[in-house]
Amino acid sequence: MIQIKFKYFVVLCVTLWICTVSATEADWPSFGRDAGGSQHSPLTQIDIKNVVRLKQVWAHRSGDFVEGKYPKGSVLQATPLHVNGMLYFCTPKNRVIALDPETGRERWAFDPHSPDKKTGRPALSAPLVLTGRCRGVAYWESDDSTIEKSAVKLAALQGTLCERRIFKNGDAGRVYALDADTGLLCLDFGAAKGHFGFVSHSDYENYGEGFVGSSTSPPVILDNLVIVGISVNDGISNAKDGIVRAFDVRSGELRWEFNPIPEDKRNISGAANVWSTMSVDKEHKLVFLPTTSPSTDYYGGGRQFDIPLANSIVALNGITGKLVWSKQVVHHDLFDYDLVGHPLLVDIQRDGNVVQAALLQTKMGWLYGFERTTGVPLWPIIERATPKTDVPGDIASLTQPVPSGMAAFARQSMTRNDLFGLTPIDRYACRRKFDALRYDGMYTPPSVKGSILFPSALGGGNWGGASYDSVTNLLIIKAENLATVIKVVPKKDSAVEDKQLALDYLTRPLVGTPYRIEGELFQSPLGIPCTPPPWGTLTALDLGTGKIRWQIPLGQIRRSGVSIPQGAGWGSPNVGGPITTHGGVTFIGATMDSKLRAIETATGKELWAADLPMPGMAVPMTYMVRGKQYVAIAAGGNAQVGTPIGDYIIAFALSN
């Protein structure tokens, strides 16, 4: 009888793949799948031969979207997590939703802006007026069966012990803790500060002026700590400081905080915050931060002193918050060259050895590599002379640090003869504009005359941009190749102009300075980029040789009523990033043509593409349930780049 049962068990295992796929392999428990953020899955069921059989199997609509131009229109950039038998994601309206991963049916939803129907508790927050963006949530699970009595008492009020928690950066500088099984607030979290279920950055000193908000990217987890960044207004001279904080996952008590602004300069400049994703080395208890520019971002006359932890990869002791090592990759930033994504903590092959690396993508199109525990560069970094500023009252760094021995993954220069035009007249208009502006190559600072910034603050590399495939030792990274025009405008009446609302992130007052900035894409009267195409690329960097293995235009674009075929090589502006799998497939949305693509990781060959109802400007993910591998992506468009707007989470799987 035992032998018969064992035979059935073996057949069941083979049928469902559950004997060979561990829970860790089947899940996607963090934004980048693993704590180090590789954006790579070991799943192999979907491979280069059968990927053409992928079909949509379900779609979920949250209803959480707002039509309109940015900042009034919504942005959907969430990467769902698959863990604890559910998919978890957040919406532009600050909600968290849990789905059945096989069907897309809603299991629960949390809305801080509405009364809790299950408990009758009032709303935690005022109704949301402006929509935001949320790139994801974090998951923590207790490995300790003993929980403090106070926690049990508070948890009893909501019928859960919250031994599995979802953490979300919310509105008004809050961080919410939710029971992963029910979606109810974990009332012990933040209780010591009098707000049950969340903590707030506003309870602590943030220095400076302006607002302090939550990061739009998810927190990270290290042991029993939840580590979070903040968002600030870097258009204010003395903005709030870019503090990163670690809270106890159960009580919400502050365990440490890290401030990138030198202590004696905290009433002069601010920002250098972490708005993007972070990564964690669990083995060495390190947390890696990609910091941003100090305030103000396009004018540095008020901060003519060193801020060495701005625009830097920063490795902290995750238990204490103390600095372990750092490396600044932009000196005295005048270009808004924020670091836009977490360092990928992966083991790469180099010079015949396996190296524990931290790989940092940048807007400039450079890839920096460091030994993870020491910060020693894996390929040399040299200081290159750069152009001077001509803006009165400002200075520019004499040099910028440039990696040597690793190919750039984005275009970094152009000439007058390179400029693009849909027609000869269009191209002539681009050349006339070029002649009227300042352009001295890379790191040309903004000017009163108006300067071309290329790569621009859009990238090069931008948010969500890279995945490491350990099978091929390739970094798969996407880039955007669009120049912008930045003009520094002297203010006539600071008292009036400082109160004007920003038109967008390129045109706004620089509060507390003598200037405001005006910016736009470098484009022709037809709205066609003057920058030479391709405007979007996907590149495979060989981390052993430092050379490009392959590079392809990514996506299509429609302008002036014309859709250019993909084979024309234009590519598309893009937001989002790739994932790779052990099946040899790279998946990426990101483009304006509303497609999810499957690319052969080893060669760059497009294997499959599916139409999405809206652009999928998010990082996709993949997971396995009961022997079936799924690929899912948020397809809701992006008001900031002018796409159609929606609210879809869409999943694909192999057809029979």
Give, in order, the Cα–Cα distances in Å from 227 to each of 233, 246, 247, 257, 440: 21, 4, 6, 9, 41
CA of residue 149 relative to chain centroid, distance: 38
Q: Show the beta-strand stretches assigned E in 94-209.
A: 96-99, 106-110, 138-141, 164-169, 174-179, 198-200
Residue with tokens 């863990």: 83
Beta strand pairing status for 40-41 and 578-581?
parallel
Q: Left if phi > 0, otherwise alpha if psi is -120 to 50, otherwise beta: which for 418?
A: alpha
Q: Show the beta-strand stretches assigned E in 75-229.
A: 81-83, 86-90, 96-99, 106-110, 138-141, 164-169, 174-179, 198-200, 212-214, 220-222, 225-228
Q: Say how far apart CA 212 and CA 232 lie, in whole Å.
A: 5
- Asked if residues 79 and 619 have their Cβ atoms less than 8 Å apart, the reply is yes
Q: Say how far apart CA 628 and CA 82 lie, in whole Å.
A: 14
Burial of 245 (0-12, 13-18, 19+ CB in 10 A): buried
Residue with tokens 């939703």: 97
Q: Say how far apart CA 21 and CA 19 lie, in whole Å.
A: 6
Burial of 194 (0-12, 13-18, 19+ CB in 10 A): exposed
From the candidates 181, 234, 336, 593, which is the catalytic residue?
A: 336
Q: Show the beta-strand stretches assigned E in 137-283.
A: 138-141, 164-169, 174-179, 198-200, 212-214, 220-222, 225-228, 230-232, 244-248, 254-258, 279-281
CA of residue 161 relative to chain centroid, distance: 32
Nearest of 77, 74, 132, 136 to residue 635 by alpha carbon: 77
Residue with tokens 């607030």: 185
Sequence-distant contacts of 289-292: CB under 8 A, at least 24 apart:
289/229, 289/244, 289/258, 289/313, 289/314, 289/315, 289/316, 290/314, 290/338, 290/339, 290/340, 290/341, 290/342, 290/343, 290/360, 291/242, 291/260, 291/339, 292/234, 292/242, 292/338, 292/339
Angle, alpha carbons 78-270-575 (nearest 5°): 25
Burial of 539 (0-12, 13-18, 19+ CB in 10 A): buried
Give, in order, the Cα–Cα distances in Å from 213 to each of 169, 270, 358, 381, 463: 9, 14, 28, 35, 19
Beta strand pairing status for 578-581 and 230-232?
unpaired
Nearest of 163, 227, 235 to residue 201 by alpha carbon: 227
Q: Any catalytic annotation for residue 647?
A: no
Catalytic residues: 336
